[in-house]
Amino acid sequence: MDITVLGCGRWGTFIAWYLERINHNVILWGRNSSSNLKNLITNRKNDFLSLPNSINITDNLELAIKSSNIIVISISAQNLRDFMKDIIKYNLSNKTLVLCMKGIEASSGKRLSQVVTEYIDTSLTKVAIWVGPGHVQDFINDIPNCMVIDSEDFNTKNMLVNQFSSKMIRFYYGTDLIGNEIGAAAKNVIGIAAGMLDGIELSSLKGALMSRGTREISRLIKAMGGNEFSAYGLCHLGDYQATLFSEHSQNRKFGECIVTRKEYSKLAEGASTTLALIKLGQIHNTDLPICKAVNDVIYNNVDAKLAIDSLFLRSIKHEF
């Protein structure tokens, strides 16, 4: 199939590499101001992988969109709304947009698929999400994983699962778009909390964090109209190993750096997602103590040790 990947960061570049490897025709697009794009055009590689000559690398957005019926979007979640304003200038009819970001719009609390559908006619343009565990560093070393594709449109979901699956990534059919989007985004916030535990040398509490974090997010998913058990699937709990423990996890590292007062310049989507979850908790009257603790440390200058103590020394309650 002809597939375009919009976004040439770490994950977008990997997606292009992966889809070409399973025999699709791939275009990789980036902004002409992007240092990632300039490096890829010059060297055809980044810090993780090398791109074959068969992948067309371009900064021509019109060409990138017109050339393919499947458009994979892999950019910062908080930039999606402005990006949609750019791409709707071109004809998106009969195209499928696949969102490969794990985030929630901080300003509105809207899921990313909701943001997209504000700008398209869903009878003409289909929307899907691609979420679940996995690091570029592992995939390029042929370490496989399982991920999820979900969409409100079954035919779209079915087509993508069949076209994108391989021995490297086994895709499952998602059945709860709300739960999969919220769960995938929220695991980054739990990842920041895990990094904070590492930073204050309380990693032994990660088990409790995993248990309580999953339950916390399941309550929010249910309050929003999704299936609470989605939090226990690949989108959330199934992604904990890659997010709460892995040395490659940017959100975990971000949380650790906050506590140890070290600079961290890479993108940690969980920082913005924290703001969105606090907003959603208020809208849906759902208690989110872990999200609140992370928010207090990042944005309210609360000492991490105090925030963690208040979290795990809360009044005695039944486990569930």
pLDDT in 10s for each residue of the chain, 320 residues: 999 999 999 999 999 999 999 999 999 999 999 999 999 999 999 999 999 999 999 999 999 999 999 999 999 999 999 999 999 999 999 999 999 999 999 999 999 999 999 999 999 999 999 999 999 999 999 999 999 999 999 999 999 999 999 999 999 999 999 999 999 999 999 999 999 999 999 999 999 999 999 999 999 999 999 999 999 999 999 999 999 999 999 999 999 999 998 988 787 899 999 999 999 999 999 999 999 999 999 999 999 889 988 887 654 555 54
Domain end marker among 173, 199, 217 = 173
Domain end marker among 129, 145, 173 = 173
CA neighbor of 293 nearest in space, from 183, 196, 185: 196
| 109 plus 185 within the same structural domain | no
Task: Read off the CATH number of the domain in which 150 is found.
Answer: 3.40.50.720
Domain end marker among 119, 138, 173 = 173
The answer to whether the beta carbons of residues 252 and 203 sit under 8 Å apart is no
User: Whole-model pTM?
Assistant: 0.94
| 25 plus 157 within the same structural domain | yes
| 151 plus 101 within the same structural domain | yes
- Residue 241 inside a domain? The answer is yes
Single out the catalytic residue among 126, 187, 253, 292: 187
Residue type, 138: D
* Residue-level pLDDT at 314: 57
* Residue-level pLDDT at 310: 83
CA distance 170 to 130: 12
Strand bridging mode 126-131 / 145-151: antiparallel
* Residue-level pLDDT at 312: 78
* Residue-level pLDDT at 263: 87
* Residue-level pLDDT at 265: 79
Q: What angle do CA 70, 71, 72 make, to 5 degrees?
A: 115
- What φ, ψ does residue 202 adopt, rounded to 5°? -125, 40
Residue type, 179: G
- Residue 317 inside a domain? The answer is no
Cα-Cα-Cα-Cα dihedral sign, residues 89, 1, 235, 142: negative
Asked if 187 is an active-site residue, the reply is yes
Strand bridging mode 96-99 / 126-131: parallel
CA atoms within a 13 Å half-sphere pointing along the CA-CB vector of 314: 14
* Residue-level pLDDT at 319: 52
The answer to whether the beta carbons of residues 19 and 3 sit under 8 Å apart is yes
